[in-house]
Structure 1
Amino acid sequence: MEEEYGREFFVILGGVIMLNIGLIGESEVVVTKDNTAKALKSGELEVFATPAMIALMEESACNCIAGHLEKGQSSVGTNLNIAHVSPSPVGMKVTCTATLIAIDNRALKFEIEARDEKGIIGKGSHSRFIVDKIKFQNKADSKI
């Protein structure tokens, strides 16, 4: 299906859910020693870690669609294409914004931007897929 931009779209999975292109979700965190590259072992420096930024980006996408899914549904990340373009020191606040830009049935695409108090530190796109919580968990558990 071709991507739909700028219009309401219904997602069907055991019912009808209304999501709108342009929905926005946010999340924020203060950089601490616990979410630095050094602490997460993704580098040696005490700056906001790329894995921590990615988690914040996914959280903002989840916040974007929170309240728009039916009971028993969730979403899972399927793709992330980001650039971490600037370091953020311990003590600085980082805010992330996710905007829903495309809907294709249960597949959702977001444009994401992370900023600290001085400007953009990361940007990119993120895709998520709407799932039934129980079925998805059972599928994962069946691997054990």
Structure 2
Amino acid sequence: MVKTLTQEFQIKKKDTAAAMGSGGLEVLSTPSMIAFMENTAYELFTPLSSSGETTVGIEINVKHLSPSAVGKRVEVRAKLVEQKKSILFFHIEAYDDEKLIGTADHKRAVVTIETFMKNIE
């Protein structure tokens, strides 16, 4: 049942803590790293979902372990480790130059798009 996906992202100025407002330095921001992680988990499950379904993030426990500079490539490795009904459990790791920079345990819920969107009206 374990499925994995690896994606690469290049850190741009818009991804920095200074640009995001989460800090003052020109390094990869934690919110941007989380977005890279969530996107990789989302992309991992998308081909497995039925028509009219998607996944939404519902919980993330993240550790940002090391800074990364603008221009660096970040490799994000997501692993689907369990599914309990409509809840998906992922373990995610992020690396730059093979150095671990972040880890996360992430939960996503499988939802019907039409029903989900009605809830925001």
* TM-based fold match above 0.5: yes
Match of 2:13?
33
Matched, 1:63 2:43: yes
Larger radius of gyration: 1
How many residues are matched?
Answer: 121
Aligned position for 1:51: 31
Identity of aligned pairs, percent? 36
Unaligned runs of 5+ in 2: none
Question: Structure 1 residue runs of 4+, over 6 Å off?
Answer: none
Unpaired runs of at least 5, structure 1: 1-20
For residues 69-98 of structure 1, give each alpha carbon's deviation from its aligned partner in whole angstroms, at most 9, with x where no partner exists: 110000000100010000000110001111
Q: Within 5 Å, give how 1:1-144 maps onto structure 2.
A: 21-140=1-120, 142=121
Aligned-residue CA RMSD (Å): 0.9
> How far, CA to CA, are the matches of 2:98 and 2:110 in structure 1?
34
TM-score by length of 1: 0.81
In the TM superposition, residue 118 of structure 1 has moved relative to its aligned partner by 4.5
- Structure with the larger helix share: 2
